Amino acid sequence: MTFGSRLHAAQADRGPFCVGIDPHAALLREWGLDDDVAGLERFALGAVEAVAPYASVVKPQSAFYERFGSRGIAVLERVIAESRAAGALVLLDVKRGDIGSTSQAYADAYLDPSSPLAVDAITVSPFLGFGSLTPVLDTARTHDAGVFVLALTSNVEGPEVQHARTDDGRTVAGRVLDQLRELNEGAAPLGSFGAVVGATIGSTDEDLAFNGPILAPGYGAQGGTAADVRRLFGKAAAVLPSSSREVLRAGPDPAAMRDLVRSTNDELRG
């Protein structure tokens, strides 16, 4: 099955909520853990055990594992493997963006099933030119994986690039969405190439109907609400509102994290 098909089925079964597994140092301390590899392992795998059987998608942020070096990456490999074994799709938040052979190497690292870091989908940056993503997109097609491209992020610095106008008068974000529309044309039930659009951007005049999924970070603790999701993304094919701290701060109690995933899915479905 393509990533779009798997995501469509997972959301129908479990709900739209995407849970970030981001081991911030402050969160480790809130759980009573040291900010070291042992603390990372207990935190990350505890979160996986609590949420991966109930969330349609989990989204580890690679940087929080990379900061511990090779031992942190080994924990990330376990997070990926155990999340998938629990039935969740894994969207690895890496925001990679490069050209040529380097772009291909990133694609091989994260999307080729022979890699220990292989996941269902990754986030990428198009700001070296959308064409720089070609190796990643081609590799995703080969392995039925997904790609989420930064389009309209909610950080305050984003608009200076994303709202800039191209020679044809379109915004950079609009051109990204146009490219995704072409990539997903004719895909059923859902395309595999998505956009990252912040749940807290307030409003946009861009057309968010491109037959692909939208990753909407900023839900929950960062201010995004179910009403925001409905207002911003009403015409979108599929939306993954994403939150990390909202769920992880309910830990280390696994039942509390599990119940929050379930109640959030119920709220979003409503």
How buried is 263 (Cβ within 10 angstroms: 0-12 exposed, 13-18 middle, 19+ buried)? exposed
Annotated catalytic residue: which of 84, 95, 163, 170? 95
Spatial distance between the Cα atoms of 124 and 126, rounded to a whole number of angstroms: 7
Q: Which residues contact 214 (CB under 8 A, 6 or more apart)?
A: 194, 195, 196, 197, 208, 233, 236, 238, 239, 240
Is there a catalytic annotation at residue 59? no
Q: Which residues contact 186 (CB under 8 A, 6 or more apart)?
A: none
Which ranges constitute the DSSP H helices of 15-67? 25-30, 37-51, 63-66
Spatial distance between the Cα atoms of 198 and 219, rounded to a whole number of angstroms: 8
Contact 145, 136 (CB under 8 A): no
How buried is 152 (Cβ within 10 angstroms: 0-12 exposed, 13-18 middle, 19+ buried)? buried
Both tokens assigned to 57: 């998608």
Spatial distance between the Cα atoms of 208 and 232, rounded to a whole number of angstroms: 9
Positions marked active-site: 95
